[in-house]
Amino acid sequence: MVEIKKRVVNIKMFIDGEWKDAENLQTRPVINPANGEVISYAPEGTVADARAAIYAARHAFEAGVWSGISAQERASYLFKIADKIDEYAAELTELETMDNGKPLREAGFDVADAAACFRYYAGLITAPDGQTYHVADPMQAMVVREPIGVCGLIVPWNYPLLMSVWKIAPALAAGNTIVYKPSEVTPITPKKLFEILEEVGLPKGVANMVMGAGPVVGNEIASHPEVDMVSFTGGTKTGKHIMKTAADTMKKVSLELGGKSPNIIFADMDLELAVDYALFGIYAGSGQVCSAGSRILVEESVYDQFVNRFVERARKIQVGTGNDSSTEMGPLVSEQHLEKVLHYIELGKQEGATLACGGNRIVRDGLDKGYFVEPTVFIDVKQKMRIVQEEIFGPVVVIQKFKDEEEAIKLANGTVYGLAGAVFTNDGAKALRVVKKLRAGITWVNSYHPTYNEAPWGGYKQSGVGRSLGTFGLEEFQEIKQININLQVEPVGWFSN
């Protein structure tokens, strides 16, 4: 058991290079989800705070203190940030566990990934880009990529550090200035990250952080005319609101939203391995992962066998506090979210699904004040049920049966979401056939969850618009400019007089 320190003091916002309280001095308690204790108070930012951050970012952008320096210089800052993340890795890991609840080993992966993401974009921004075109003489046509301007970045609580870095690293690499808003539930590692940005000497106003409620601070970022682009990760409902709000000022929007991803298991797959991956697919992060394999589809000939083994192993998952090294699954992030997940479990029962295991809040000694839920499995579900259609975002999985490839694909694609999906089979051609038919942006064959800074991340359908990570993730934060140069100026000859 790692003894995690009890409190984090002095959470402030970072606006125009200074640490600030909310202008009206209001705060919001920050809770440790493992025990319900208040670990800090964060500023409850206002519209005025959001505007101050937006103006600081606008001023820094127009002054060219960031967009005007070379890509190599910007890259050198990003490399330094990555090095600092590594230097503070132990502290960041502990803070992430304390704030979000995830086990230390999960938080540790996130921190390492965050450093790697900064390095990736530091390298990418100095790689060749742009294009030239073979147009008729004497013209020369080319395309260059430019920063968009002021980018609003709004993130959720499930990966407080990593989701932030997926946006901050490419946005800064591209030369933008940013107004960033962490989730109100998890402001602690964001605060540490901004201390790092300050420590490496990022010019004033380039990176600004405002905390506070989504409908207040987030809404101001999405609607303000001085914000040129909004990149949002969160729920589909909020994403729709942001898209509508941003439309008034015709902002570019990039949306990473919810999912209800299918995990398809064919009978020819080694059953033990399929169960192993499927458990990881849903219960990693306590199911609070956008790409979680929350719908398992199993070929009917092995369905009963699969369910029995899956339930047997789900019951054995060690649920506990994130700082306990024997913990395999941590708590949910907040009391409010706990209530939402428990509500869905009740709903599943009312809809007529059979609870094969779990379904309860865990109130045993030591966990009774935290927000822990048993790994939960529903069977005998129908495609129309809300527990099959809607994102629960907790340790709750439905296991469905299919008779052939065609039915598997129909069920898999039968929700409004299209974020991720996986296929397990020993038949390579079948795997590719099925994956190609999945209406989803991220797919795996005989695996679940690996994610790479180098490869694009994002969803089809109502799971989002645009892509994070990879070259695509950088392009989200760039404008494309066409430049046409006349290499021999002569009269146009269009008008005779």
- Residue 40 tokens read as 């800090």
Beta bridge partners of 229: 151, 252
181 belongs to the binding site for ligand NAD (CB under 6 A): yes
Give the chain's largest Cα–Cα span. 94
Is residue 467 a contact partner of residue 458, using CB atoms and an 8 Å limit? yes
SS3 at position 4:
coil
| Assigned token pair, 56 | 């600081």
Residue 241 in contact with ligand NAD, rule: CB under 6 A: yes
Which one of residues 29, 64, 123, 215 is an interface residue with ligand NAD (CB under 6 A)?
215
Does 192 bind ligand NAD (CB under 6 A)? Our answer is no
CB of 14 to ligand NAD, least distance (A): 16
Active-site residue, from 290, 299, 391, 475:
290
Binding mask 149-168 for ligand NAD (x = CB under 6 A): -----xxxxx----x-----
Distance CA 184, CA 109 (A): 23
Span of 39-47, 179-187, 352-360, 426-434 interacting with ligand NAD by CB under 6 A: 179-187
State the number of binding residues for ligand NAD (CB under 6 A).
30
Q: 491: Cβ–Cβ under 8 A, 6 or more apart, which residues?
A: none
Instruction: Give the phi and the psi of residue 446 in degrees, each rounded to 5.
Output: 55, 40
**Position among 419, 423, 440, 474 found at the interface with ligand NAD (CB under 6 A):** 419
- Does 151 qualify as catalytic in the annotation? no
Catalytic residue among 256, 299, 475, 476: 256
Q: Which helix (H) or strand (E) holds 69?
A: none
Name every residue whose Cβ is closer than 8 Å to that of residue 213 and which is 6 or more positions away in sequence. 44, 184
* Collapsed DSSP state (helix, strand, coil) of residue 357: strand
Q: Pick from 118, 306, 393, 444: which binds ligand NAD (CB under 6 A)?
A: 393
Contact status: 469 vs ligand NAD (CB under 6 A): no
Cis peptide before 203 (omega within 30 of 0): no
Q: Which residues in 191-221 are b (16+ Cβ under 10 Å) and which e? A: bbbbebbeeeebebbbbbbbbbebebbbbbb
d(Cα 179, Cα 148) in Å, to the nearest integer?
A: 13
**Phi, psi of 358, rounded to the nearest 5 degrees:** 75, -145
Q: Among residues 84 and 241, whose Cβ is nearest to ligand NAD?
A: 241
SS3 315: helix
**Scanning the structure block, which residue is given the tokens 């979000």?**
100
Can residue 415 be called a binding residue for ligand NAD (CB under 6 A)? no
Binding of residue 464 to ligand NAD (CB under 6 A): yes
256 included as an active-site residue = yes
**Rounded least distance, CB 221 to ligand NAD, Å:** 7
| Tokens 């994070």, located at residue | 468
- Where is 401: in which H helix or E strand? strand 396-402
Q: Min. distance of Cβ 366 from ligand NAD in angstroms?
A: 27
Question: What is the rounded CA–CA span in Å between residue 157 and residue 333?
Answer: 8
Nearer to ligand NAD, 393 or 448 (CB): 393
Q: How far is the CB of 458 from ligand NAD (least distance, A)?
A: 7
Please report how close the Cβ of residue 237 comes to ligand NAD at its closest, in angstroms: 7
| Least CB distance to ligand NAD at residue 459 (A) | 6
CB 357 within 8 A of CB 314: yes
Q: How far is the CB of 240 from ligand NAD (least distance, A)?
A: 10
Could you tell me which stretch among 136-144, 188-196, 218-226, 469-477 binds ligand NAD (CB under 6 A)? 218-226
DSSP-H helix ranges across 248-385: 271-283, 303-315, 335-351
Please identify which residue in 96, 113, 184, 374 interacts with ligand NAD, judged by CB under 6 A. Answer: 184
- The CA-based angle 61-67-72, given to 5 degrees, is 155
Question: Among 258, 285, 395, 418, which residue interacts with ligand NAD (rule: CB under 6 A)?
Answer: 258
Least Å from the CB of residue 301 to ligand NAD: 33
Stretch that binds ligand NAD, among 123-131, 189-197, 234-242, 348-356 (CB under 6 A): 234-242
- The contact pattern for ligand NAD, residues 265-304, with x = CB under 6 A and - = no contact, is -------------------------x--------------
Q: Is 238 in the site for ligand NAD (CB under 6 A)?
A: yes
Site of interaction with ligand NAD (CB under 6 A): 154-158, 163, 181, 183-184, 214-215, 218-219, 222, 233-235, 238, 241-242, 256-259, 290, 391, 393, 419, 459, 464
- Just list the catalytic residues: 256, 290
